[in-house]
Structure 1
Amino acid sequence: MFKMSKFWERFFYLLTYLSQGSSYLSPRAYAILHRMHHAFSDTEKDPHSPHHTKNIFSMMWETKDIYNAVLNRKRAIETRFERNYPEWNFIEKLGDSWASRLGWIALYTVFYVLAYVYLDMHWIFFFLLPIHFLMGPIHGAIVNWSGHKYGYQNFDNQDKSKNSLIFDVLMMGELFQNNHHKRPNSINFGSKWFEFDPTYPVIKLLDKAKIIEIRKRE
């Protein structure tokens, strides 16, 4: 969709780690799984299709196994998937370490405890902690389950991809899966006039600020 300098690549790589925290996902492994998903959408080779698993939990467990195999280079990858992704070995090893994941979990918990003690936060908010711990997998589960089961289709992509929402602020545009599978390199996941992808104006702004360079103008 776009390219950036080595400085900004490292900046966003680090920002990815800081944002995902305990649920950090390797950009390399994620990119490969995403390419596999597009190439084999909703077939038995799809690493995360809701149509070849019993439920959302078994789908994500199977995805986890494939992700770990790709991450640890224990699975043969087609050459077409193994290219053009950022790598930073230090962050990769740090983000995937148990010390880092447990450290982030402790930090989130301390934050909630301090908010409870000093900001009079209601105790029920502690039930949000598991979402913070597993934010990455939960996001992936919602997008890949809902985006291939519920909603409507603008295009016949020979798969079961759907647009689950018309104003997707919940997943920042990623629930326009049908549109995305039709035009995977488009920076705007919305297609119809009433579909709003909130990430699209952010990408345009980053382009105008010369932080990124959009490859394909719309």
Structure 2
Amino acid sequence: MNRFWERTFFIGTWISQGTSYLNPFAYAYMHRMHHMHTEQANDPHSPNHSSNIFKFMLSTYRYYSLVKNKEITLQNGVNKNIPRWIAFEKISESWVSRILWASVYILIYLLYAPNIYWFTMLPLHFFMSPIHGAIINWFSHKIGYRNFKQNNDSTNLFPIEILLGGEALHNNHHAKPWKANFASKWYEFDPSFFAMKILHSFRIIKLNQNSLNK
């Protein structure tokens, strides 16, 4: 996408993720490292390196923070073509921003929650991205089914992938990481792919031919 749309999506992601906004650069770099070193020593978020899901989430966050704060030496070429907006990061990732969004969520509950028990849902809103990441990167290497035999334990979680934007078709994604459409079998569905096709048709993003190949 061009620079205008790139920054539009930076802002849109911050608004939609709120308290759990993730740095796109750090997340993309970590994701590339995961594919390069899946379940090996250099994998930044392999479930095989942690005894439980909470230690896994903590170690993943530590690595993410090291990349975000430039406290780790990045591998040559891995960070190529990953967009970054330093000035916006200072706003979107500040504690002021996160407290502001948390206050907005609490206010919405105060105004519209039918009773006090609904407030138990607040942690889900506060930590949506970490929870999403834990489901994908922990359970999609632990349980589920496999369409492709690989040298890793990646799996697909059907039909949960529909609720997670298709990302839980993790085994398919590891087998063919260049594909924009994570679905492989006739019954699998990747809603994010159809969103990308719509954006492509309006020339907001450009899907290259390789990403559409089977």
**Same fold, judged at TM 0.5 (above):** yes
| Structure richer in helix, relative to its length | 2
Counterpart Cα distance in 1 of 2:36 and 2:167: 18
| 1:114 alignment counterpart | 111
* SS class of match (1:130): helix
Counterpart amino acid of residue 90 in structure 2: K
Percent of counterpart pairs with the same letter?
44
C-alpha RMSD of the superposition:
1.2
Q: Select 1:65's aligned residue among 50, 62, 65.
A: 62
| 1:46 alignment counterpart | 43
| 2:18 alignment counterpart | 21
- Alpha-carbon deviations, 1:106-145, whole Å to 9, x = none? 11101110113xxxx2322211100111111111111111
Q: Which structure 1 residue ranges, 4+ long, deviate > 2 Å from structure 2?
A: none
Q: Select 2:140's aligned residue among 147, 166, 171.
A: 147
* SS class of match (1:90): helix
The answer (yes or no) to whether the contact 2:160–2:168 under 8 Å persists in 1 is no
Counterpart Cα distance in 2 of 1:95 and 1:144: 24
Counterpart Cα distance in 2 of 1:180 and 1:101: 31
| 2:165 alignment counterpart | 172
* SS class of match (1:152): coil
Counterpart Cα distance in 1 of 2:160 and 2:67: 34
Mark the runs of 5 or more structure 1 residues left unpaired by the alignment: none
Counterpart Cα distance in 1 of 2:136 and 2:29: 17
Q: Select 1:35's aligned residue among 27, 32, 51.
A: 32
Q: 1:88 to 1:12 in 2, by over 3 A?
A: same
The answer (yes or no) to whether the contact 2:141–2:155 under 8 Å persists in 1 is yes
Q: Which has the higher contact order (CA 8 A, sep 6+)?
A: 1
- Alpha-carbon deviations, 1:174-193, whole Å to 9, x = none? 11000001111211000111
Q: Select 2:195's aligned residue among 195, 202, 217.
A: 202
Q: Does residue 124 of the first structure (1) align with residue 139 of the second (2)?
A: no
1:167 to partner: Cα distance: 6.2
Q: TM-score, normalised by structure 2?
A: 0.95
The answer (yes or no) to whether the contact 1:166–1:194 under 8 Å persists in 2 is no
Counterpart amino acid of residue 89 in structure 2: E
Mark the runs of 5 or more structure 2 residues left unpaired by the alignment: none
1:166 to partner: Cα distance: 4.4
Q: TM-score, normalised by structure 1?
A: 0.93
1:168 to partner: Cα distance: 2.2
Instruction: Kindly tell me the number of residue pairs found equivalent between the two proteins.
Output: 211
1:198 to partner: Cα distance: 1.3
Q: Does residue 81 of the first structure (1) align with residue 78 of the second (2)?
A: yes
Q: 1:93-104, aligned counterparts within 5 Å? A: 93-104=90-101
The answer (yes or no) to whether the contact 1:31–1:85 under 8 Å persists in 2 is yes
